[in-house]
Amino acid sequence: MGVSIPTNHQIENNMIKINEYTKIAISSLSKKLDDNHPVIRALAAESLGKIGSETAIPGLLKALEDSDEYVRRKAAEALGKIGSETAIAGLLKALEDSNKDVRRNAAFALAKIGSETAIAGLLKALEDSNWYVRWNAVQALANIGSETAIPELLKALERSDDVRRYVDKDVLRDAVEALGKIGSETAIPELLKALEDSDKDVRGKAAEALGNIGSETAIPGLLKALEDSYEYVRVYAAEALANIGSETAIPELLKALEHSNSYVRGNAAEALGNIGSETAIPGLLKALEDSNWYVRRKAVEALTKIGSETAIPGLLKALEDSDAVEALTKIGSETAIPGLLKALEDSYSYNVRGNAAAALGKIGSETAIPRLLKALEDSYEYVRLNAAEALGNICSETAIAGLLKALEDSDDDVRRNAAFALGNIGSETAIPGLLKALEDSDDDVRRKAVEALTKIGSETAIPGLLKALEDSDKDVRRNAAGALTKIGSETAIPGLLKALEDSDKDVRRNAAGALGNIGSETAIPGLLKALEDSYEYVRVYAAFALGNIGSETAIPGLLKALEDSYEYVRVYAAFALGNIGSETAIAGLLKALEDSDNYVRGNAAEALGKIGSETAIPGLLKALEDSNNYVRGKAAEALGKIGSETAIPGL
């Protein structure tokens, strides 16, 4: 609901106060850094870090030399949060602290600051006895991204004993990542070695780093990494080869399309797609016949990315796989149409015929209509349902006769798609068939028929839609009420009034909305009764509908609705009373100016402005002092509309 928005002046005053309080807090906390108790000193350092002001730095630098290690640790952490380069010298000194946690926090702080002046100290920290310090030092060097760090980062990759290999695996991953971020080719030999590391995450990070560097010298190693036992590594290797984007990798990637491992074949196809060269098309077309679905899928995606019409003949051959349809439609060329039409008529495979129909629908050319109409009589429902949907996507009236016949198909899905297609086409000539479909045995077909009639929007559909208001399926009834809302004819009123008593709350809600849209006073008794419905949104729609109709006979019911337990009912009751514009509503609206909800008060003020009576002025003047901007604004507007001189002092 409404929230009071402060003025610019209030914001400025609040900021001044906040700044003053912050200065006082920093001064007080800085003094606490000299407290006799170490816990107080540590808490003061932590609090200064949270405030984040550079004025606290001198005190925190002094605290880095505190006798208590916990205080020193919190001071280093706070300086990292503040993030100022003026703290670097002190933090570099803290990298040599006797306590490992202080050194770790100092390295972490330097990582956040990210200045090259810290590199020398951080390089030294790579040899720290504590792995966490080394890890934070690597992260800091990665953030800084300077080539001067490369030699030491490379040293971090040269490990010997098994214990250090295990303990330092996180350090090694970050060292590899840092080398990738720095992006220097001098790191490539060690990164290629890292592709054979025993730790799978190190191998993955190495592949990613080589992709970031983007040198062709990494291609042989990355091609080998496509065979890695761990999928994460294979994925990064494929991405790296794609990032390098060199056509020199294509021959080896084409060879990899015939690898014994399906993931290697699939990732090779993905890399070829990312490189985007047409020279890869023959190999990718061959991969469309792969026995593994993952490889076929990646080959289709690759051909789609390359987007060349030269791939179309091969994709047509691969129509047994529905992925080929996606590629053909994304390439989107009408040059595929002759082949698709041939496949639709000649193929022995119903999958191919069905997929060809789907592709023709997505391409959307009217030249396909005669064959698609013929496909509506195919012996396989998969072909017929795709043909019906395709004709709906093409949207030509020449397909109506065939689709009307398809509304009587033996298969539910075919009938459903035919109804959908006729709705998309939107011609009134389809109405008789769709009205008949409202009696279909399948719920989904009836729903689609109602949706189609809604799109067409003709009054000739009203008798059938009124009958659909009594359907056994609640969704059919809901959609029928929605359709009648769009058509908006008074002939629907009796059926809609009956629907106001439906067992389904959403049917009742839609019926109320439809009656409001029609706007006839004959609906008022039913809508007044709906104001007492157990479902709040029926009451909301009923109030809104009565406001649209605008008759004074609704006022007593709407005044009662101003006291509804649900705020949105009260909001729309106030709106409705304003639309009606009768002075008999003033007393109730004045009372509503004291409602707990901002929008009720605002709408009540607006309604009083529409009514325009001077008797509302005292209440509106009081509303000018409301805590909420929206209410005050509506009260001011209302007083302006009333236009009495008695309102001037309040304004």
- The answer to the question of residue 239 being in a domain is no
Contact 461, 432 (CB under 8 A): no
> Residue 224 and residue 265: Cα distance in Å, rounded?
12
What is the reported pLDDT for 146? 58
Distances (CA, A) of 429 to 403, 416, 434, 448, 451: 11, 18, 10, 17, 16
Please count the structural domains in the chain: 1
646 belongs to a structural domain: yes
Is the residue at 570 inside a domain?
yes
- Judge whether 471 lies within some domain: no
Q: What is d(CA 355, CA 300) in angstroms, rounded to the nearest whole number?
A: 14
What pLDDT was estimated at residue 181?
A: 66
pLDDT value for 366:
94
Interatomic CA distance for residues 141 and 150, integer angstroms = 9
- CA–CA separation, 540 and 568 (whole Å): 6
The predicted pLDDT at position 573 comes to: 98
Positions of the chain with pLDDT under 50: 1-11, 14-15, 17, 160-167, 645, 647-648, 651
Tens-digit pLDDT profile for residues 150-164: 565 556 555 544 434
How many H helices and E strands in the chain?
41, 0
Buried b (16+ CB within 10 A) or exposed e, 432-465: ebbbebbebeebbbbbbbbbbbbebeeeebbebb
| pTM exceeds cut of 0.85 | no
Q: Is position 433 within any domain?
A: no
State residue 263's pLDDT score: 81
Q: How far apart are CA 390 and CA 495, in angstroms?
A: 35
In the prediction, which pLDDT does 177 show?
Answer: 67
In a domain, 606, yes or no: yes
> What tens digit of pLDDT does each residue of 415-449 get?
999 999 999 999 999 999 999 999 999 999 999 99
Domain harbouring 638, CATH code? 1.25.10.10
CB-neighbour burial class of residue 649 (10 A; exposed 0-12, middle 13-18, buried 19+): exposed
In angstroms, the CA 196 to CA 202 distance is 9
Instruction: Give the CB-side neighbour count of residue 83, counting CA atoms within 13 A.
Output: 9
Nearest to 391 by CA among 407, 412, 380: 407
Residue 583 domain-assigned (yes or no) = yes
Backbone angles phi, psi at 114, to 5 degrees: 70, 40
Residue 266 tokens read as 């699939």
Are 191 and 210 in contact by the 8 Å Cβ rule? The answer is yes
Q: Which long-range contacts (CB under 8 A, 24 or more apart) does 162-169 make?
A: 165/198, 165/199, 167/131, 168/131, 168/134, 169/199, 169/201, 169/202
Residue 314 and residue 337: Cα distance in Å, rounded? 14
Q: Answer yes or no: is 608 within a domain.
A: yes
Looking at residue 170, what is its pLDDT? 61
Rounded CA gap, 304 and 301, in Å? 5
Longest dimension (CA), the chain: 94
For residue 583, the Cα-to-chain-centroid distance in whole angstroms is: 48
Q: Which domain holds residue 617?
A: 561-651
Helices 567-580 & 598-611, crossing angle to 10 degrees? 10
pLDDT of residue 532: 96
pLDDT on residue 331: 76
Contact call for residues 94 and 72 (beta carbons, < 8 A): yes
Give dist(CA 231, CA 203) in Å, integer: 11
Instruction: Give the model's pLDDT for residue 166.
Output: 43
Name the amino acid, one letter, at 637: E
Contacts with 10 (C-beta within 8 Å, 6 or more apart), sequence order = none
